Chains A and B, each alone.
Chain A
Amino acid sequence: MLALAIAWRVFKSLRNDRRTLALIVVAPVLVMLVFGFAFAGDLRGVRLIVVSNDPVVNAELLSQHLSKDMFEVVALQDPEAAREEVEEGRAWAAVIVPQGFSLKAREGRASVQIYVDRSNVLAADRISAEIARGFSSIARAFGFRPPVTQNVTYVYGGEAGFMDAFMPGVVSIAIFFLSTFLTLVSFVLERRSQTLYRLYASPATELDIVLGYSIAFSAIAALQVVEVFAVSIVLFDVKVRGNMLLAIAAGSLLAVSGVNLGLLLSGLARNEAQAPQLMPLVTLPSILLSGVFWPIEAIPELVRPLSYVVPPTYAIEAIRAIVIKGWGIAEVWPQLGALAFFALAFMLLGVVALKRRD
């Protein structure tokens, strides 16, 4: 049986390839964790505004009938202020319970006004469903006659479909992945073919190298953003409400972080074959932590702080806000600032990594 000899050889080689061995053991666990956390987790700590002029159905009662894990209920007085909270992105939804609600409810004529930020379609629909469940629970407890009409106003993303919500995440992950991976591969090649030695031996500084790669790949990222937008708009009917240039800028800034992450990782890979093995280190946490599908409120609290150190988180937030909410620089500057900060920090790390010599 020559096949056995070949199989035996594979195992023997693995013994001396610790990296692959580690990947074989760790990858299934990692993949399960990622998909478990990214998809199975329910929303947590979602800020919900309740304005109630009814003596019975008030914020306190509502919070008792809603999922305590999911909502952090905040009571306000002014319906306009409540709507503003949602418009400005400080709350995912607001419920306005009008005067005389509980009286009308006994006759089956009650209605509530709900404002929902639907920029993340999946999350918003989950939130709406939970609010509806809360009202039916109240109705049962108080013997209200159905129906309790819910007038839902989507503050953002009323017409948004799955693709509208999905696209910002996809474009961000694609850019981050590609800029990291392409840099990783071309840098491993620079090392292996010794052109990196030539760069080191030339008057070019480490900063020149880092900047050169960053400029090239942020331009490539800009092109990719345009491509993804074009496909989304033409084929999937996605509507871009905000400024495309701003979204492109967010993508380009994200690419700079990716480039320098690739540069950092290239120090860990000894050849091109090992480079792909490092990629789960980049892609899995990005998908897990950055809120591609669910908002980061759905990420278990224990690991949520890590979401804030993953650059795609900010790109997804920024691009989603630009595309669906039509927000401009005045609103998304914190995300762009965070992306710029990461780009700079990763560039510095890139320079440090290149300066490290034997």
Chain B
Amino acid sequence: MAFTAVIRRDLLLAIRHPAQAIDPLIFFLLVIALFPLGASPRRELLELVAPGVFWIAALLSTLLSLERMFRPDFEDGSLDLMLASPAPLPLIVLAKIIAHWLVTAIPLLLAAPLFSLLLGLPTTALPALLATLVLGTPTLSAIGAIGVALTTGLQRGGVLLSLLVLPLYVPVLVFATGAISAAANDLPFTGQIYILGALAALSCTLGAFVAAAALKIATS
């Protein structure tokens, strides 16, 4: 019951404050819109780097939204309520991860086909792009939860959070961009997708436990 209540409450808060979901998306849009201006608008070059640019923008925009996962609750005491709840803490953390994913990844998924046009990604790569987003973003939320749980009690945890979390995002980045590039060249990409799926399964199951332990340490 606590599990669904946490998801429902976080979604309700996101609806009351849509900026939570829209800000990372606008940041994402800016990064990929600036890239052709800064590098080169030539189609051949863009096609080559589009998967990398797309996913780096996704990582950075996720990082932007991570702080909100526990910090507001920590500051207003809601986190104490959750820690004091008889429900197992990993379950509550898992609910927070799911809510974060729903709020940040779903808008990105919906906007991805449109944004991929900005980078001139061939339409043949679109299924691969969506598949990597569906399987990759849960890993981003779950690993992010660990980092943000560790830095919750700190006054300024922003830079530390990126140092902790970004290196752990590397496998997702590598296999996701690999899959999209392969699809763009009409090569099979199921291998990379399987690995992304395995990463998601691992991080979502173990991540909640690790983040729960980190949260206990950070708040005591």
Q: Do A and B come from one complex?
A: no
